[in-house]
């Protein structure tokens, strides 16, 4: 399951990995969210997104396998800890099968730092992205110089209100089923109400463990390869790319792990000297 989730599709065809490139919530009477400006949808380099500078988002990182192939994203939570999705790392027999690339905007270059993973913590309640708790923390073999991103805390509940402007980032596919991007991209999109997301995914969405983001008519979303990457609002990590149905399809918003729900557990891992392998 880990392979299908992070690469392309998981159970019942639901996309469980996201890249920033296509479109999220579309024109569905069931999914609520602001409409995107037509010019944005028509002219963006990726539908609803654009290239991003790593200098402005230094905490954005990506995960590679032993062959150097990027498969997921992540966020620096401290100088040697990375927050990502549990489905990106669950099932790996050894933490060293994963490496983290920090400070590299273009995957075709050798900029930044490549760090080995010495330990992984996967939320103990995680079973599937569709059941919540899709969060993991990786411990690196070294400290990196890039700045970490603060995580949402209880005082940041307002950031989950419908219409809050958020930014998703990643190196994933620019269109559903397409190739991964070679450069970091970002997409600005609004948080969707819990009601709207429950209507889009009536049997799967959990307001406690998940949050949705995207436009009512689609045009902005994360996609294959973006799983584990950040959803940021007001300088805080509020979501982790988790799953969705397709990329930017009408009525199918992107679903992110609700960081606020897991703040205490994530913070303990960020503060610990090591994580369990």
- Domains in the chain, CATH or no CATH each: 58-148+263-271 (2.40.10.10), 151-260 (2.40.10.10)
pLDDT tens, N- to C-terminus, the chain (277 residues): 223 333 332 233 344 444 444 333 332 333 445 444 332 222 222 345 789 999 999 999 999 999 999 999 999 999 999 999 999 998 875 788 999 999 999 999 999 999 999 999 999 999 999 999 999 999 999 999 999 999 999 999 999 999 999 999 999 877 677 777 889 999 999 999 999 999 999 989 999 999 999 987 775 678 777 899 999 999 999 999 999 887 767 778 899 999 999 999 999 999 987 644 4
The predicted model scores a pTM of 0.84
Catalytic residue among 22, 32, 57, 134: 134
What tokens does 202 get? 């009536």
Concerning whether 227 is annotated as a catalytic residue, the answer is: yes
Please name which of 81, 89, 78, 226 lies closest in space to residue 141, comparing C-alpha atoms: 81
> CA separation (Å) from 200 to 6, 31, 36, 242?
22, 6, 18, 15
DSSP H helical ranges for the chain: 2-7, 38-43, 86-89, 194-200, 263-271
CA angle, residues 52, 54, 55, in degrees to nearest 5: 115
User: For the chain, what percentages of helix, strand and coil (3-state, to nearest 5) are there?
Assistant: 20, 30, 50
Marked catalytic residue, from 22, 78, 227, 242 = 227
**Could you tell me which residues are beta bridge partners of residue 212?**
192, 255
Convert the pLDDT of each residue in 103-142 to its tens digit.
999 999 999 999 999 999 999 999 999 999 999 999 999 9
The verdict on whether 221 is a catalytic residue reads no
Catalytic residue among 22, 28, 57, 87: 87
Decide: 247 and 224 in contact? Cβ < 8 Å. Answer: yes
């Amino acid at each position: 399951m880990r392979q299908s989730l992070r690469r392309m599709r998981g159970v019942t065809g639901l996309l469980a990995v996201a890249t920033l490139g296509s479109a999220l919530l579309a024109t569905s009477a069931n999914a609520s969210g602001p409409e995107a400006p037509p010019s944005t949808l028509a002219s963006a380099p990726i539908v609803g997104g654009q290239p991003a500078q790593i200098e402005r988002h230094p905490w954005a990182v990506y995960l590679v396998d032993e062959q150097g192939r990027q498969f997921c994203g992540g966020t620096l939570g401290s100088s040697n800890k990375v927050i990502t999705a549990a489905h990106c790392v669950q099932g790996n027999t050894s933490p060293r099968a994963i490496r983290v690339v920090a400070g590299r905007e273009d995957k075709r270059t050798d900029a930044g730092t490549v760090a080995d993973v010495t330990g992984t913590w996967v939320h103990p309640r995680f079973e599937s992205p569709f059941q919540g708790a899709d969060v993991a923390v990786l411990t690196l073999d070294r400290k990196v110089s890039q700045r970490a991103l603060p995580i949402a805390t209880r005082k940041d509940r307002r950031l989950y209100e419908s219409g809050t402007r958020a930014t998703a980032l990643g190196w994933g596919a620019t269109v559903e089923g397409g190739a991964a991007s070679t450069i970091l991209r970002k997409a600005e999109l609004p948080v969707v109400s819990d009601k709207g997301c429950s209507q889009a995914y009536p049997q799967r969405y959990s307001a406690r463990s998940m949050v949705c983001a995207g436009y009512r008519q689609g045009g902005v979303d994360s996609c294959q390869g973006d799983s584990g990457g950040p959803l940021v609002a007001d300088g805080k990590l509020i979501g982790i790319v988790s799953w969705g149905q397709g990329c930017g399809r009408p009525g199918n918003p992107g679903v992110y792990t609700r960081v606020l729900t897991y703040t205490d557990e994530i913070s303990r891992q960020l503060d610990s000297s090591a994580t369990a392998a």
